[in-house]
Amino acid sequence: MSSNGQTNGAIYRPYSIRDKVALITGASAGIGEACAWRFADAGCRLVLVARRTQRLAALKGAILAHYPDARIHCVTLDVRKTKALTKLPGSLPKEFADIDILVNNAGLALGVDATDEADLSNAQQMLETNVLAVVALTKVVSAGMKKRNSGHIINISSVAAHESYARGGVYCATKHAVDALTTAALHDFVDTDIRVTAISPGAVQTEFSIVRFGGDTKKADDVYAGIDPLTAADIADNVLYAATRPPHVQVTEITTFATYQCSAKGLARVKL
């Protein structure tokens, strides 16, 4: 028997997070929605945060139809509303008040402007959503984690956190910031039992590109032409893996590419 309770040579079983409270932002679609399903399957109590009330309600109904005993609290909130965001933990029902797992997932890219052509309104929205919201929610949620000396902060980052590319300057800057915030948090919480993880996907086919191209589905589809892209469920698997390691294990980062991808723009396109 090893010192951490695992039998040497035995099957390594995930650490149970049943009854833990998981708060997921951007939960109404894409990676956030997929995470909601995976954490529901793991038996977590869910706090689902997103802007679209009807999408949240539909997701809650679908999860409850599949997992009738699931406990779900939905919050309609735009994470750009910083004051409301910072009040969120204190407004939760008692059953959901002690947040064990924070998934900072809400994020977006807008446009493909060159640096010298940057639309400042789009830039502000990306900075507020992708960076300031992560700062604000991490600040208020980690306060409770520190009191309990337990918790896990999981930031959905991107391969764009590690490399920049043409016509993606502001988005890449925001994800570089998420990477920096994650690394700084690792240092800040090193003397606690709080774990910190960055999940950095490559090409994932969700609403991401549709939003980036202002609803132009043709341009969005072209991003993934000739490859078999990652899915939201693939990234939710990464998130759940990090969350279900034993308490003495801290997965600091997972970077995942689609097959036929070697970098943000390094794609070998083939006929499928």
Count CB-CB contacts under 10 A for residue 248. 11
- Contacts by residues 244-247 (CB-CB < 8 Å, ≥ 24 positions apart): 244/14, 244/15, 244/16, 244/17, 244/42, 245/14, 245/15, 246/4, 246/5, 246/6, 246/15, 247/15, 247/150, 247/193, 247/195
Which superfamily does CATH assign the domain made up of 21-256 to? NAD(P)-binding Rossmann-like Domain (3.40.50.720)
- Ordered per-residue pLDDT tens for the chain, 272 residues: 344 545 566 777 889 999 999 999 999 999 999 999 999 999 999 999 999 999 999 999 999 999 999 999 999 999 999 999 999 999 999 999 999 999 999 999 999 999 999 999 999 999 999 999 999 999 999 999 999 999 999 999 999 999 999 999 999 999 999 999 999 999 999 999 999 999 999 999 998 889 998 999 999 898 999 999 999 999 999 999 999 999 999 999 999 999 999 999 999 998 65
The maximal CA–CA distance of the chain, rounded, in angstroms, is: 60
So where are the chain's domains? 21-256
Active-site residue flag, 171: yes
Per annotation, catalytic residue among 171, 218, 224, 260: 171
DSSP conformational letter for 254: E
Active-site residue flag, 271: no
Give the number of residues written for the chain: 272
Indicate the SS3 state at residue 159. Answer: helix
Per annotation, catalytic residue among 60, 175, 218, 265: 175
